Amino acid sequence: MSFPEHRPRRLRTTPAMRRLTAETRMAPAELILPVFIREGLTQPRPILSMPGVVQHTTETLRRAAAEAVSLGLGGIMLFGIPEVRDAVGSAALDPNGVLNKAIADVRAEVGDDLVIMSDVCLDEFTDHGHCGVLDSDGSVDNDSTVEIYAQMAVAQAEAGAHMLGPSGMMDGQITAIRKALDAGGHAETAVIAYSAKYASAFYGPFREAVDSQLKGDRRTYQMDAGNRREAIREVELDLAEGADIVMVKPAMSYLDILADVAAIAPVPVAAYQISGEYAMIEAAAANGWIDRRAAISESVLGIRRAGADMVLTYWATELATWLKEAR
């Protein structure tokens, strides 16, 4: 009887051996926590389609940011939900508006101990729910929208954001934002570009999270799910326009795209594990169909293995707690 000459199983024999030989690892500093703050709340409001996630008040947001620092998270991404919306998203430019005030509150709470990121997009602020202003035929007007993004970026930088996340997938948005920031004295404010953001069915719970007013879809500006090469074009354009970090969104259904981007990007690569990905695992775990902790850990590890240097995930705080416990 002949026996195998090579025995890879030797490196799987014990937990200690598997830790030693692991090719991909996770650390709290690689995790970014997306959070929602809603204007006018006196108590945090649970998001039913995302168990464990809430719309924050000012006080609970500040506590969440302080906890993120204590756990060693890399960053926090802020999304604001105003009480009043209009066709052009005016509340997004208000220095005292919900998002700009939240940025200032978090900066006052944590200073430079956490990278404070903020969403540069109009979808939460418009009464039609699109990521930009509409022209006379009801289509999103790319160039008019980009002008507003540039103003939003400056307002958010002045409020205290370290990094801005333009998520609207408008052509030329990175150039406009970078120029506005530099002209406004914010040359050190970084930009994390949502470079390859796909029109996905998995955004559903996010619509509840931000009380979206959208009717229809965003397929005229977000990418088609079948397109792979186009993602590289989008990334290359954002890099040429001055993006400091590039992102793929969603993550789990687009790991091939993430790997492609990681292979060519000379800057850090992020991936966003979105609301639908979160909701699916939570629902399956609630029904006893999967091991919740193992599935969460494996899902994020898979995103890291595909090439993400950092992962936006609603489990960031919980994952960081588990990683600290495992030390």
Residues annotated as catalytic (active site), given as ranges: 197, 249
Query: Residues for the chain: how many in total?
Result: 327
Residues whose CB is less than 8 angstroms from the CB of residue 238 and which lie 6 or more positions away in sequence, other chains included:
174, 193, 195, 246
CA-CA distance, 179 to 113, in Å (whole number)? 27
User: Token digits for 153?
Assistant: 């970026």
Residues whose CB is less than 8 angstroms from the CB of residue 265 and which lie 6 or more positions away in sequence, other chains included:
235, 239, 246
Nearest to 261 by CA among 301, 232, 238: 232
CA-CA distance, 183 to 163, in Å (whole number)? 16
CA-CA distance, 262 to 24, in Å (whole number)? 14
Amino acid present at 229: R
Cα–Cα distances (Å) from 204 to 118, 207, 208, 235, 273, in that order, read: 21, 5, 7, 25, 13
Eight-class DSSP state of 224: P
CA-CA distance, 195 to 276, in Å (whole number)? 20
CA-CA distance, 119 to 192, in Å (whole number)? 10
CA-CA distance, 133 to 164, in Å (whole number)? 20
Q: Are strands 245-249 and 269-272 parallel, antiparallel or unpaired?
A: parallel
